[in-house]
Amino acid sequence: MSTADEIKKLNDLLKDRVITQEEFDSQKEKLLKSNLSTNSSDWLTLFLLTFFAGVLGVHRFYTGKIGTGFLMLITLGGLGVWFLVDLILVVTGQFTNKDGQKIPRT
């Protein structure tokens, strides 16, 4: 279950008065913090994939960007230019996954 689905479920419980606002806020904060800790390991994996196999677009497959991953594969990372841009985006924490969420450097 995704974080958004879990928050929606908590919101439904809040509306049905099964949990209090304080419990909702506490659980929501825990979910968001656990999501951030997951992203830190995702960032390291993303960086390593980009650095060692970025020309082949492996990092884009990893983040769910299958179409552009395939394009990078057949163009060898836009002859290296696309790869360099992606590497800079990853290092600065601006690279996004297929849902548009940044994978921050933590």
Number of domains in the chain: 1
Question: Quick check: is 58 in a domain?
Answer: yes
Rounded CA gap, 20 and 52, in Å? 48
Check if the beta carbon of residue 62 is closer than 8 Å to that of residue 73. no
3-state secondary structure of 97: coil
Tens digit of pLDDT for each residue in 49-75?
999 999 999 999 999 999 999 999 999
Give me the mean pLDDT over the 77-81 stretch: 92
Rounded CA gap, 30 and 46, in Å? 24
Question: Quick check: is 97 in a domain?
Answer: no
Question: Residue 56 sits in which domain range?
Answer: 3-92
Question: Has this prediction a pTM greater than 0.85?
Answer: no
Helix axes 21-53, 81-92, angle to 10 degrees: 150
DSSP calls for 26-39: HHHHHHHHHHHHHH
